[in-house]
Structure formats: C-alpha cells, structure tokens
Amino acid sequence: MNKKKETKRKFQRIIERVFQYIHRFGVRVRIFLWQITYDIEIGKDTDFKDINYINTYYGAIKIGNHCQINAIGLIGPIEIGDNVLINHMSDVSGRTAKVTIGDNVLIAPRVSIMATMHNYRDKHQLIKGQGVKSADVVIGDDVWIGMGSVILPGVTIGNGAVVGANSVVTKDIPEYAIAVGAPAIVIDYRQ
C-alpha cells in the first residue's frame, strides 16, 4: 500500500467513526460528508436510508439521479444508473473488480452482489492465503432482483431480466429472461 493511500484510508477511518456519532443529524449531512471525503459522486434527488458503510478504498462509487439506496453498505468500484432502488439489508461490493448497475433497476431486500471471491483450489494452503479472484458484474437496465438473491462475480444480467427470490446467479442471464433457483436457470421470458 503506498503512503498516500494509507494516509487517505486512515483519514476515512476517522470519518467513519465520526459518522457513527453524527448519524442522528440525518442523511443529508452524511451525504455531504461522503461527497467531500470519498471518491463518491451522487446525483440529484438520490437518497440514502439505513446505510452502514461506504467504502471507496478499492475504487470510486458513482450513483445517478433519483435513486433510493437503503443498502447496508457499498464497497467500490461501483457505478449505479438513474432511478435505482436498492432495498434494505442488501450489499454491493466491487473491491478488485467493478459492479455496474443500469437504470431503473429494482433490488429487493437482502440481495448480495459481489465481484470478488477467494481462490481456494490448493488444499495445501489456507484459503485465506490464496488471494482472491474477481470479475466485473454487470446488471442491465430495468432488471428486478428478488429478495435474498446472490449475484456472483463475473455475471452479466441482461436488460429487463427478472431474478426470482432466493436465487444464486452463477452464470449470465439473457435479456428479458425470468431466472430462478440456485443455481439460477431461465424458466421463461417476459413478453
């Protein structure tokens, strides 16, 4: 880690502590502080509720206009379009790859979207010593992701697709497909 990054991270940690105390001043103050502290761009009429952490250590976070972000937390790099709803207890995490979410996307409660996972194949080494692998996650426009679903690294969900509740999306989902289950398979298409 270079010195500049290290200093920035320390500064962000202090601000995170401060956030815990200023929570009662409401969301507007937090948004203002995020914007001056982090690599974060927030569009107009975008609001946050009950978010616990914003982390731009790995990359910037860009959020479009008219979004409602009620996620537990966001870890960059992330790019979110306009009119996006991310519901309670969901989390979006890029880390070493990017998560892109299009316009008019609905993400139900308790959805996890992650672009990074552990390497684990070598049984002679601890999993935590094997590093991570990552691949971008892309979610198209007008996608609806049902509650409790998990979107794994490297997945692309096409425009207009629907992911049923509690699905685990391990592979790409075509445009306008309705996919359900673990692993998620296409059961139909929107007409």
Ligand X SMILES: CC(C)(COP(=O)(O)OP(=O)(O)OC[C@H]1O[C@@H](n2cnc3c(N)ncnc32)[C@H](O)[C@@H]1OP(=O)(O)O)[C@@H](O)C(=O)NCCC(=O)NCCS
> Known catalytic residues?
118
- Give yes or no for residue 108 binding ligand X (CB under 6 A): yes
Alpha helix segments (H runs only) across the chain: 3-22, 27-37
Nearest to 104 by CA among 141, 61, 151: 141
- 170 near ligand X (CB under 6 A): no
Is residue 56 within 8 Å of 37, Cβ to Cβ?
no
Regarding 132 and contact with ligand X (CB under 6 A), the answer is no
Q: Does 114 bind ligand X (CB under 6 A)?
A: no
Q: ∠ CA(157), CA(48), CA(139), 5° rounding?
A: 5
Considering beta carbons, is residue 97 or 184 the nearer one to ligand X?
A: 184
Choose, by CB under 6 A, the member of 165, 172, 174, 186 that binds ligand X.
Answer: 165
| Contact with ligand X (CB under 6 A) among 15, 132, 147, 168 | 147
**73 is a contact residue toward ligand X (CB under 6 A):** no
Structure tokens given for 185: 């398979």
Give min distance, CB of 140 to ligand X, in A: 17
Q: Does 146 bind ligand X (CB under 6 A)?
A: yes
Residue whose structure tokens are 């992701």: 145
The verdict on 160 binding ligand X (CB under 6 A) reads no
Per CB under 6 A, does 89 bind ligand X?
Answer: no
Question: Site size for ligand X, by CB under 6 A?
Answer: 13
Helix (H) or strand (E) holding 185: strand 185-189
3-state helix, strand, coil in the chain (%, to 5): 20, 30, 50
Q: Smallest distance, Å, CB 110 to ligand X?
A: 9
Question: Which residues lie closer than 8 Å to 108 by C-beta, 6 or more apart?
Answer: 87, 90, 144, 145, 146, 147, 148, 149, 165
Q: Report in angstroms how near the CB of residue 159 gets to ligand X at its nearest.
A: 17
Binding site for ligand X (CB under 6 A): 106, 108, 146-147, 162, 164-167, 178, 180-181, 187
